[in-house]
Amino acid sequence: MNTPSPIPAFGLGTFRLTGQTVIDSVKTGLELGYRHIDTAQIYGNEAEVGQAIAESGVPRDALFLTTKVWTEHLAAGRLIPSLHDSLAKLRTDHVDLALIHWPSPGGTVPLADSLGALLRAREQGLVRHIGVSNFTTALLREAVAAVGTSAIATNQIELHPYLQNRAVASFARAQGIHTTSYMTLAYGQVLQDPVVQAIATELNATSAQVALAWAMQQGYAVIPSSTRRENLQSNLRAPALRLSDAQMARMAALERGGRLVNPEGLAPVWD
């Protein structure tokens, strides 16, 4: 059931980065070798991401580009026009992955309508893969009922050592749905964790590399962001790092339900 994911395991996130800051981050990342770039309509930086890609000289077909559809555009009649806007800003004729960024608040827009529109966008060649973000087990069940597991490329969720989201991740894995971890470093909190620091010392690595490797070792994709060249370069070494079973167990014990992203009026009832 678990087929290889089309989503690169390691990417560059752009959340909270705008203007020249995001241009510099993406251009530096591409120069260093990043090829998976993650953005979203609500980030307000798609045009800058598109500019950075265009100026980088990296061929479009060498990139995996993700954007996310905001809640205001989830209605069937608005979703595809919003993707056309995103593509214009990103200076491309398609994105590799388009996600429903958050479930429709209060279920105002039926999930089947949004996913149906995403499937039509895929048929039209506007997107290569579709998926969801911030979905609970119940919402994943609803998505599967609407379009089947094979249509859902990933569920992008907050997932880090302090919030391991095991119920959702386990359900997704059982369904053959890939998981993408965002906020893998918990806004930097895990970098100061004594357990993570100790493992980093044991592996001659950084705390960030340990946290990112921990997530990838479980099969998740990660999309850390940074504005500093040295951090972007250092993070790139995470995919080659391997934690022992004992080290993975110590990381697993850090779970404490430490959710950081829970916007009022937008967040579903979490598992």
Reply yes or no on whether 162 is catalytic.
Answer: no
Q: Is 256 exposed, middle or buried (0-12, 13-18, 19+ CB in 10 A)?
A: exposed
* Catalytic residue selected from 43, 162, 182, 220: 43
**DSSP 8-class letter at 217:** H
101 is in an annotated binding site: yes
Distance, CA of 22 to CA of 27 (rounded, Å): 8
* Cβ 29 vs Cβ 36: under 8 Å: no
Q: Are 240 and 10 in contact (CB under 8 A)?
A: no
Burial class of residue 115 in the structure, from the number of CB atoms within 10 Å of its CB (0-12 exposed, 13-18 middle, 19+ buried): buried
**Matching residue, tokens 């339900």:** 257
Q: Which two tokens stand for residue 69?
A: 């559809």
Give the contacts of 30 (CB within 8 A, at least 6 positions apart): 37, 52, 53, 56, 58
Report how far apart, in Å, the C-alpha atoms of 61 and of each of 18, 46, 96, 251 are.
Answer: 25, 18, 10, 36
Rounded to whole angstroms, the Cα distance separating 56 from 146 reads 39
Binding-site residues, in ranges, read: 101
Binding-site residues for substrate, in ranges, read: 101
Residues marked as catalytic: 43
